[in-house]
Amino acid sequence: MQLVIDSQNVSITKDKSGGYLLGTVKGTFGNVISVLEQEFPFAINSTPHIFSNYIVTKFNNCLKGRSEKEINIFGLKCSADYLFDINLFLNDSDRWSYITKKGVKQKGKYKINLTMRDIEVWRVHHNITKSVIPFDWNNVDYSKGLRIDDISSFYELFYGLLYYYAFNGMKLVKCEHCGRWFATDNFKNKYCHRNSTVEGYTHLVCEQAVRNLYQQIKRKRKVIYNSIINQEYNTKKYVEYEVIEREKETFIKKCNEYKSKLDEMATAEIITEYLTFLNSYRGEMKNGSN
Ligand SMILES: [Zn+2]
């Protein structure tokens, strides 16, 4: 098996006849993690506690003579260890870069400006003895691509990818909307080029989905707000002024709570939660507008 990263795509080739296309250079890292997450969902938000439980269970099973079912992905042997390990690497906040958000310099959550030192740490910790070979062998320039021969594990696959990104000054970022990783040239890119995971918006890429969802939220919020302040007129029933004021305040307070969460990060979860709140609001229902 050979890992091949050219300037466009990443693939694992078995022999001349077959192989796996893993995706674009910028998307592959996140694609591989997504595949592992599908296979080992318990390792997604790995903490040292979950990880140690996993190791203990694995060890006990081993003693009982029950070994884990072996899975192959992209022709490579696969277990949850790889996901735990790459998450440990990515979740280490010492590795996160400083960014400026609203004029304030702060540590960017899940924004990693990879250095060759990070790659060396990954290589040594995972006992990788295979070397990356640049396409441009004469100039030892990795911008045109690289390959690793005889790869046999996800550690080596990640090594090749991380090496390429670090050498070419690319950064790793977790999409602020869908939570999947991608490589980018600039931290200004907050969203990946995959499709949104929010129901009804899956035909749009994350950035466009966020924009449309914001519009939708703004519109629904306005409709509800109007239905609160105009409820006397709408229902033709007398409502005390204080009751309307209180409802208005409660509604605005709740919306502002969501808004500050969204300002922090417009994740699919928070947007969905906010929309569910708006959609189920009695004012919205009464008004019949959706
Ligand atoms: Zn995304």
**Which tens digits make up the pLDDT trace of 79-96?**
888 999 999 999 999 999
Quick one: pLDDT band at residue 68, thresholds 50, 70, 90? Answer: low
Contact 194, 208 (CB under 8 A): no
What spacing in Å lies between the alpha carbon of 211 and ligand 1's midpoint?
13
What spacing in Å lies between the alpha carbon of 130 and ligand 1's midpoint?
32
Of 188, 219, 150, the C-alpha closest to 12 is: 150
What spacing in Å lies between the alpha carbon of 196 and ligand 1's midpoint?
6
What spacing in Å lies between the alpha carbon of 210 and ligand 1's midpoint?
10
What spacing in Å lies between the alpha carbon of 20 and ligand 1's midpoint?
23
What spacing in Å lies between the alpha carbon of 54 and ligand 1's midpoint?
29
Query: Is residue 42 scored above 90 in pLDDT?
Result: no
What spacing in Å lies between the alpha carbon of 65 and ligand 1's midpoint?
42
What spacing in Å lies between the alpha carbon of 190 and ligand 1's midpoint?
8
Grouping H, G, I as helix, E, B as strand and the rest as coil, residue 128 is coil
Look up residue 125 and give its amino acid: H
What spacing in Å lies between the alpha carbon of 36 and ligand 1's midpoint?
17
Quick one: pLDDT band at residue 71, thresholds 50, 70, 90? Answer: confident
Beta bridge partners of 133: 147
Looking at residue 62, what is its pLDDT? 79
Residue with tokens 């300037």: 7
> Which residues place a Cβ less than 5 A from the ion ligand 1?
175, 177-178, 192, 194, 206
**Which tens digits make up the pLDDT trace of 251-278?**
999 999 999 999 888 899 999 999 999 9
**Which tens digits make up the pLDDT trace of 175-204?**
999 999 999 999 999 999 999 999 999 999
What spacing in Å lies between the alpha carbon of 179 and ligand 1's midpoint?
6
The predicted model gives 56-76 an average pLDDT of 81
Distance between CA atoms of 254 and 145, rounded to whole angstroms?
50
Looking at residue 287, what is its pLDDT? 47
What spacing in Å lies between the alpha carbon of 26 and ligand 1's midpoint?
12
What spacing in Å lies between the alpha carbon of 249 and ligand 1's midpoint?
34
Checking phi first, is residue 69 left (phi over 0); if not, alpha (psi -120 to 50) or beta? Answer: beta
What spacing in Å lies between the alpha carbon of 209 and ligand 1's midpoint?
9
Least-confidence region, from 19-23, 215-219, 267-271, 281-285: 281-285
What spacing in Å lies between the alpha carbon of 165 and ligand 1's midpoint?
19
Quick one: pLDDT band at residue 288, thresholds 50, 70, 90? Answer: very low
What spacing in Å lies between the alpha carbon of 184 and ligand 1's midpoint?
12
Quick one: pLDDT band at residue 69, thresholds 50, 70, 90? Answer: low
What spacing in Å lies between the alpha carbon of 175 and ligand 1's midpoint?
5
- Strand ranges (E), 25-148: 71-73, 76-78, 96-101, 104-113, 133-136, 141-148
**Cα dist. 185→28, 87, 113, 168 in Å?**
15, 21, 10, 9
Distance between CA atoms of 20 and 258, rounded to whole angstroms?
42
Query: Is residue 289 scored above 70 in pLDDT?
Result: no
Query: Is residue 285 scored above 60 in pLDDT?
Result: no
What spacing in Å lies between the alpha carbon of 182 and ligand 1's midpoint?
8
What spacing in Å lies between the alpha carbon of 142 and ligand 1's midpoint?
27
Kindly report the three-state secondary structure assignment for every residue of 50-81. HHHHHHHHHHHHHHCCCCCCCEEECCEEECHH
What spacing in Å lies between the alpha carbon of 15 and ligand 1's midpoint?
33
**Which tens digits make up the pLDDT trace of 140-171?**
999 999 999 999 999 999 999 999 999 999 99
